[in-house]
Structure 1
Amino acid sequence: MNDFDIAVIGGGNAALCAAMVAARAGARVLILETAPQPYRGGNSRHTRNFRCMHAGPLGPLTDTYDEEEYLADLLKVTGGKTDENLARLAIRTSEECLPWMEGHGVRFQPSLSGTLSLGRTNAFFMGGGKSLVNAYYRTAQALGVTALYEAHVTHLELNGNRIEWVDYTHLGQSHRITPKAVIVASGGFQADTEWLTRAWGPAAQNFLIRGTPYNRGVVLADLLDQGIDSVGDPTQCHAVAIDGRAPKFDGGIVTRLDCVPFSIVVNKNAERFYDEGEDVWPKRYAIWGRLVAAQPDQVGYAIIDAKARELFMPSVFPPLQADTLEGLAELMELPPAQLRATVEAFNAACGDTSGFHPTELDGVATSGIEPAKTNWARPISDPPFFGYSLRTGVTFTYLGLKVDARAQCSAQGNKIENLWAAGETMAGSILGQGYLAGFGMTIGTVFGRIAGQEAADYAN
């Protein structure tokens, strides 16, 4: 196994983009994927779309989405916590990535309608992320890339300014290889609940991990322990509000609930705590994981009525349903009188709803109530009533490896000459907080391609 030029650690979108580019450049590439083959692909299995800049209609994308608008969207969700140079690089390069993706087997479909409102900004994969991952593995194999599954990388030996060797276990045996270059694309540490708890405190015990259970941060921890430069805050992550009935791990994108803009959301005391209509859902869904995490027992409850039932993507689990608010409260183990009072106060604060428009900011707002609901504020009044429990669902963490514009890693500011990183494991370089729908795939594709080319140039 020592005749490889490049070892790519990880098996998702960023790893595959790096491997394909490096192989096209003539390098002999080995992918070391921790997961078994049926679960290969990391969080990329669960993705649906790719956020893409474009100067005019491009593939399934309509109209235009220029660099400045894209950057403004990113700055809004990150609160300015981003490396603008790297962000602009990812945004600018995304336009050339879409035809490149098509050339490597990815097929796109017309955008979904409804809550997502993404037809202009995001290109959706035909068959979702699983199809993208499978297409890339087929292409990589045709290019001569070797993929090893259930290969658990345990250590990268840093000596001075280079990685000397890579240790991994496979089928119960220990192995050591000495590739010329190494690309780390093995994600964050979100599946290590002990690490999450050290960062967040006891609240993390109640989080669900909607991403892969194989991203435990083993390689990340190994490199950070050896002094590789880090970026990001261990408490920052892509965390969304997901169905409270989702599994502990790997529930994926289908566990997300898109009903929030058309609901009121309350905590276990049946009290509202945030503006449900602050912005269109793709720009706000990722803040709700943290909002729910701050509530008692890290749980929330979304309440809608019959007229909102068809306005959002169907949920994987059906909502709880009752003909009265009190009946719904009992099903959800909420205080019935308090839920009734909260809904009545909200309904009284709703005004003229004639301008209601479910797919864009409509300014249909409440008045005289805190927190306000600034869009899509219609009374919760038409039975039957429906409810969903919400829990914090972590997709990936933002503490990661600091990289430059060539995706290269460093230690104490000095470049590691043969180490690059791509994807979620370096996304904290750009995502200081918050999230923008489809942007993780943008980061992985752009920096995966860069890392693959740089590693191949070095190895050759």
Structure 2
Amino acid sequence: MSEKVDVVVVGGASAGYAAAVAAAESGAERVVVLEKARRDDVGGNCRYSAMGFRFVHDGADDLLGLLSPARREELAGRIRVRPYSRDEFFADLNQVTKNLIDQELAQILVDDSRSAVDWMTELGHQWVIWPKPVRVDGFLEYPAGTVIGPADGGLGLVERWIQIGGRLGVELRTESRVSGLLGNFHSVQGVVVDGPDGRYEIEAGAVILASGGFQASAERRARYLPPGSDLMKVRGSRHNTGEVLDMAVALGAATSGQWQGGHASPIDLNAPDVEVDNTVNRYAYPHGITVDVNGKRFFDESERHRTYTYAKTGWAVIKQQGGIAYQIFDQQAVDLFPEAYRAAVPVQADSIEALADKLGIDAVALARTVEEYNGAIDDSVPFDPTREDGRGTVGISPRHTNWARPIVEAPFLAFGVTGGITFSFGGVRTNRDAQVLNTSLDPIRGLYANGDMVGLFHHNYPSSSGMTRNAVFGGRAGVSAADAAGRR
């Protein structure tokens, strides 16, 4: 059995639907999205994320213009957000990836970031301001880079994509696993599908791969990621297992990104093994200290704002004995906890020694760590939670660069954490039009990719830039694929 379509998209989450909708808008008459999950599980990692978008903007008034009239009226005159420029976004991408990000793709991501959000808004996506603010002088203050997210979170985003696609005639087929690519090193003409009623082929004018990374496969984590990664918890969908990525590489696709890297963040020690949502995030670490099972600090908790460090902090934790660490706070930090801590139940005690006993940590060692940290704080620098304030430690290693305050106000709190992986960084190499390149760095005709299938990031990534990438390059993939389908 076989059929013909203009464009087939592999993957039914935000990366796939951005491309599918763009293809339909660009004249592709028949666009089919293939998703291996059941309908009530469609959406990949989006289903499990509160989610934000990082994009260039001119500050609070500019961002308020994206909200509904009711939300705009509610927040007008109450929020403060400084502008986020193209230069700053581009610098952030390079700083966290150690300048290894593809410079052309990074520049496109930055330059097209705001127009991509405007396009989504015109399509019918709705936005909210979602991070927890810091209250200063009666204002709600937000960090510049990531302020806006989709109404109803990632699941709301996916369902709106599906509705928008449906209005444009995009067909969603669930329980439809792609088991082969029809083509070779030079061109691709379709896919092999294992659907609910058996195997069949789809001949397509263009194929867009958007099925995510390989992080939900323990075997592939063991193959590509650092030792012990196969035992990590998966902060997201169980369906991102990497077989389509392997197919593209076997066909001759060039690779890019850091194949031994990925987005790994600190999450609750008792979180489920897979399909972990935002309620288990533990991102308050810049406002306390984090220690291993021996009571010793092992990284700079406040190198930068957490939106620039959380995606690598999980790796720091997973490298510790047993892949376990403990975040230690006093009462001064509580007002700065992100929303996810509301549902968390900390270990509490009126002394550091008693806290250590409850955690099973050497009490003398933890007390010494806290004493050394408290004594090293440069209290001549004012504390300012609204920016990277430079209030750090002197003379101890590792440093605590910002927001350092002595841990002295009981009861003291501890949260057990481990590292959870969200998405892998290794993927196929693409050009500015989202065409997949072969190992000769020529475009594979008819083959495109978007999302975590594409190798873009190294070492780390600025929070929420992945979602913006999905919209920016999904738009480009869809337009290019529709054009290719029209020429066949």
* TM-score, scaled to structure 2: 0.90
CA distance in 2, matches of 1:380, 1:55: 38
Q: Which residue of the partner structure matches residue 71 of structure 2?
A: none
CA distance in 1, matches of 2:380, 2:348: 24
CA distance in 2, matches of 1:74, 1:160: 31
CA distance in 1, matches of 2:234, 2:142: 26
Residue-pair matches, total? 458
* 3-state SS in 2 of match to 1:442: helix
Q: Which residue of the partner structure matches residue 448 of structure 2?
A: 420
Q: Which residue of the partner structure matches residue 76 of structure 2?
A: none
CA distance in 2, matches of 1:320, 1:29: 52
TM-superposed CA distance for 1:422, in Å, is 0.6
Given candidates 149, 155, 164, the residue that maps to 1:130 is 155
CA distance in 2, matches of 1:321, 1:48: 30
Q: Which residue of the partner structure matches residue 276 of structure 1?
A: 301
Q: Which residue of the partner structure matches residue 396 of structure 2?
A: 369
* 3-state SS in 1 of match to 2:190: strand
Judging changes above 3 Å, is the alpha-carbon distance between structure 1 residues 129 and 118 closer, same or farther for their aligned structure 2 residues? farther
Within 5 Å, which residues of 2 pair with 1:367-446? 367-411=394-438, 412-426=440-454, 428-429=455-456, 431-446=457-472
| 1:64 aligns to 2:83 (yes or no) | yes
CA distance in 2, matches of 1:185, 1:200: 21
Q: Which residue of the partner structure matches residue 46 of structure 2?
A: 44
| 1:264 aligns to 2:258 (yes or no) | no
Higher deviation after alignment, 13-22 or 41-50: 41-50
Within 5 Å, which residues of 2 pair with 1:29-428? 29-45=31-47, 46-55=49-58, 57-60=61-64, 62-114=81-133, 117-119=142-144, 121-171=146-196, 173-314=198-339, 315=341, 316-352=343-379, 355-411=382-438, 412-426=440-454, 428=455
CA distance in 1, matches of 2:362, 2:97: 36
Q: Which residue of the partner structure matches residue 72 of structure 2?
A: none
- Structure 1, residues 160-181: CA drift from partner, whole Å, max 9, x if none? 5211331121225112111111
Given candidates 449, 452, 457, the residue that maps to 2:478 is 452
Aligned identity (percent) is 34
- 1:112 and 1:119 in contact (8 A); partners too: no
CA distance in 2, matches of 1:78, 1:120: 16
Higher deviation after alignment, 155-164 or 409-418: 155-164
CA distance in 1, matches of 2:378, 2:445: 62
Judging changes above 3 Å, is the alpha-carbon distance between structure 1 residues 121 and 141 closer, same or farther for their aligned structure 2 residues? same
Judging changes above 3 Å, is the alpha-carbon distance between structure 1 residues 119 and 383 closer, same or farther for their aligned structure 2 residues? same
CA distance in 2, matches of 1:119, 1:354: 23
Judging changes above 3 Å, is the alpha-carbon distance between structure 1 residues 419 and 208 closer, same or farther for their aligned structure 2 residues? same
CA distance in 2, matches of 1:405, 1:280: 30
CA distance in 2, matches of 1:254, 1:166: 37
Judging changes above 3 Å, is the alpha-carbon distance between structure 1 residues 201 and 59 closer, same or farther for their aligned structure 2 residues? closer
- Structure 1, residues 405-429: CA drift from partner, whole Å, max 9, x if none? 0100122222111000011111x23
- 1:153 and 1:167 in contact (8 A); partners too: yes
Judging changes above 3 Å, is the alpha-carbon distance between structure 1 residues 368 and 54 closer, same or farther for their aligned structure 2 residues? same
TM-superposed CA distance for 1:353, in Å, is 6.7
Higher deviation after alignment, 27-36 or 246-255: 246-255
Higher deviation after alignment, 18-27 or 324-333: 324-333
* 3-state SS in 2 of match to 1:457: helix
CA distance in 2, matches of 1:201, 1:160: 30
CA distance in 1, matches of 2:354, 2:240: 41
TM-superposed CA distance for 1:339, in Å, is 0.9
- Structure 1, residues 356-402: CA drift from partner, whole Å, max 9, x if none? 12231122222222212121111111111111112111111111010
* 3-state SS in 2 of match to 1:2: strand
CA distance in 2, matches of 1:83, 1:6: 27
TM-superposed CA distance for 1:117, in Å, is 3.7
TM-superposed CA distance for 1:282, in Å, is 0.8
CA distance in 2, matches of 1:378, 1:53: 33
Q: Match of 1:432, as an amino acid?
A: H
Judging changes above 3 Å, is the alpha-carbon distance between structure 1 residues 59 and 341 closer, same or farther for their aligned structure 2 residues? closer
TM-superposed CA distance for 1:333, in Å, is 2.2
Higher deviation after alignment, 350-359 or 435-444: 350-359
Structure 1: which 5+ residue stretches go unaligned? none
- 1:239 and 1:290 in contact (8 A); partners too: yes
- 1:32 and 1:149 in contact (8 A); partners too: yes
* TM-score, scaled to structure 1: 0.95
Q: Match of 2:156, as an amino acid?
A: S
CA distance in 2, matches of 1:302, 1:312: 12
- Structure 1, residues 425-456: CA drift from partner, whole Å, max 9, x if none? 11x23x12201111001111111110000000
TM-superposed CA distance for 1:256, in Å, is 1.5
Q: Match of 2:205, as an amino acid?
A: K
TM-superposed CA distance for 1:47, in Å, is 4.4
- 2:50 and 2:149 in contact (8 A); partners too: no
Higher deviation after alignment, 322-331 or 338-347: 322-331
Q: What RMSD, in angstroms, separates the aligned Cα atoms of the two structures?
A: 1.8
TM-superposed CA distance for 1:159, in Å, is 2.9
- Structure 1, residues 33-54: CA drift from partner, whole Å, max 9, x if none? 1121122111122142111113
Q: Match of 1:163, as an amino acid?
A: V
TM-superposed CA distance for 1:126, in Å, is 1.7
